[in-house]
Amino acid sequence: MIEVFPALLGATAGAIAGSFLATIVLRWPQGRSVLRGRSACDGCGRILSVFDLVPMASALAQRGRCRTCGAPIDPLHGRVEAGCAIIGALALGFSPDPGGAGWALLGWLLLTLAVLDRRHFWLPDALTLPLAFLGFTLGPWTTDATLADRAIGALAGYLTLLLVALGYRRFRRRDGLGLGDAKLLGALGAWFGWQALPFILLLAASVGLLAVLAAMATGGRVDGTTRVPLGTFLALAAVPGWWLATVLASAGG
């Protein structure tokens, strides 16, 4: 059973975290600071007040536009805030303890990485490396993987996609896989242990293939140069892949 008060607390924390993470997604790839200076409207430059910065509520009240100049507010703000609120509510609602906080942080970071890779094909070290660190420090509160399993998972995850990237570059004479993907899979290994990695990779590849087929079915151009955000699919497959590995291990045991 989900516990209501922790779920509300998680949703509130998630909405606040989502507001900051959405700002990262929108500003960071453009080289704009996400920590310096006050928030301002991208259209007219007006400094935003506290009432303009209430997650989800402000944008809804203003009908998705700046109340001064009428410039549209990027809907990504509301989507990331809502996504983080849902993640926080589920994590703390079902696990109102340090483990729930760990799941929430994992979910928020994976959502941010998924959106960044989907929009910009970019998985910054400043997010993937802390994610790996949290896997070793907070991970023991969330999953039963041993420290050895996590260490092997981090190394195996990174080396697996690193070797794929190097092999592709050698035979095709161009880059086909970013090292950010390798670091992300290594970070997931640190969270879930090496046993979950095959399932995460399988689910990510399956979702990616379905996305490509859907693009082809709707008339999109797909060829050998089409870029696919593998990091997005890895982020989406992380928790389901771990769950599937856990269920199969329990059934086999």
What are 27-51's pLDDT values in tens digits?
888 877 766 666 666 666 667 666 6
Residue 238 pLDDT exceeds 80: yes
Q: Between 194 and 41, name the one with better pLDDT.
A: 194
Report the pLDDT value the prediction gives residue 43, as an integer from 0 to 100. 63
- pLDDT by residue (tens digit) across 50-101? 666 677 777 777 777 777 777 777 889 899 999 999 999 999 999 999 999 9
* Pair 159, 99: CB distance under 8 Å: no
Report the pLDDT value the prediction gives residue 52, as an integer from 0 to 100. 64
- pLDDT by residue (tens digit) across 101-152? 999 999 999 999 999 999 999 999 999 999 999 999 999 999 999 999 999 9
Cα distance between residue 47 and residue 29, in whole Å: 22
Q: What is the mean pLDDT of residues 214-241?
A: 88
Three-state DSSP class for residue 42:
coil
Q: Tokens 């979950």 sit at which residue?
A: 196
- Interhelix angle 76-94/4-27, nearest 10 degrees: 150
Name the H helices within 95-229. Answer: 98-120, 125-137, 139-142, 147-172, 179-192, 197-217
- Comparing 91-105, 151-165, 216-230, which segment has the lowest mean pLDDT? 216-230
Q: What are the structure tokens assigned to 98, written together?
A: 């340090």
Q: Between 2 and 94, name the one with better pLDDT.
A: 94
pTM higher than 0.85 for the full model? Answer: yes
Report the pLDDT value the prediction gives residue 180, as an integer from 0 to 100. 94
